């Protein structure tokens, strides 16, 4: 039996990182202002860690959707799988060549391109799509700030957020 309404419990779960960050900052401030010496220095470190956690928590909060869209997203050992009512598929993160956001679709869709297969379209509000933030953040040189800005934009266009750089050697002349 729970004494918290399910809606409030779901909201607290969504902002859990911000709550932990606030607790870390408050404890750090208590240690800095209270006892001196080693505990005061640890308090400064705790405050810095709390602010870092708050930044990450705010980004995840901006990324998170309702989870009430069509289909289910699963990420397992570097493979992104989408099980939808009409389509589905899987893409290996190591084989991903391009990540796009198609805002013309209703709701907006992540478009994951992999050579040799059709692009995988995942609604941004699919169940479990919130785990894609950490998955996409692992892509080299992906700017998560830009990804969040584009996700929250009202534009109805498609935008490429990340593309794998070709590792072809650049021929440079010495003379």
**CA-to-CA distance for 66 and 169, rounded, in angstroms?**
44
- Residue 44: inside a domain, yes or no? yes
- Residue 83: inside a domain, yes or no? yes
Alpha helices in 5-155 (DSSP H): 6-14, 16-33, 38-63, 132-137, 144-151
What residues make up the domain containing 23? Answer: 6-63
- Residue 175: inside a domain, yes or no? no
pLDDT at site 1: 59
Residues of the chain with pLDDT under 70: 1, 64-67, 166-175
Q: Is 83 helix (H, G, I), strand (E, B) or coil?
A: strand
Residues 77 and 154 placed together within one structural domain of the fold: yes
Residues 57 and 129 placed together within one structural domain of the fold: no
- Residue 100: inside a domain, yes or no? yes
Both tokens assigned to 118: 């059709």
Residues 59 and 97 placed together within one structural domain of the fold: no
Residues 90 and 155 placed together within one structural domain of the fold: yes
Instruction: Dump pLDDT digits (tens) for 72-93.
Output: 999 998 899 999 988 889 999 9
pLDDT at site 172: 47
Residues 57 and 114 placed together within one structural domain of the fold: no
Q: Are 104 and 121 in contact (CB under 8 A)?
A: no
Instruction: Dump pLDDT digits (tens) for 118-131.
Output: 999 999 888 888 88
Q: Is 34 helix (H, G, I), strand (E, B) or coil?
A: coil
DSSP code of residue 127: B
List of residues 6+ apart from 141 with CB closer than 8 A: 162, 165
**CA-to-CA distance for 104 and 17, rounded, in angstroms?**
32
pLDDT at site 174: 47
pLDDT at site 129: 86
- Residue 170: inside a domain, yes or no? no
pLDDT at site 66: 60
* For the chain, counts of helices (H) and of strands (E): 5, 7
pLDDT at site 11: 77
Residues 14 and 96 placed together within one structural domain of the fold: no
- Residue 1: inside a domain, yes or no? no
């Amino acid at each position: 039996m729970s004494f918290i309404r399910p809606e409030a419990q779901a909201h607290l779960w969504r902002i859990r990182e911000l709550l932990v960050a606030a607790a870390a900052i408050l404890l750090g401030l208590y240690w800095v202002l209270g006892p001196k010496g080693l505990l005061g220095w640890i308090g400064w470190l705790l405050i810095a860690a709390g602010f870092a956690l708050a930044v990450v928590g705010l980004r995840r909060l901006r990324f998170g959707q309702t989870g009430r869209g069509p289909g289910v997203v699963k990420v397992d050992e570097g493979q992104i799988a989408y099980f939808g009512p009409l389509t589905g598929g899987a893409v290996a993160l190591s084989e991903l060549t391009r990540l796009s956001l198609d805002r013309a679709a209703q709701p907006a869709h992540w478009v994951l391109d992999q050579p040799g297969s059709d692009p995988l379209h995942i609604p941004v509000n699919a169940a479990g799509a919130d785990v894609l933030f950490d998955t996409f953040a692992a892509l080299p040189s992906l700017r998560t700030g830009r990804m969040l800005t584009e996700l929250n934009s009202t534009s109805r266009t498609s935008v490429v957020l990340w593309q794998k750089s070709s590792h072809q050697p650049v021929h440079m002349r010495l003379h």
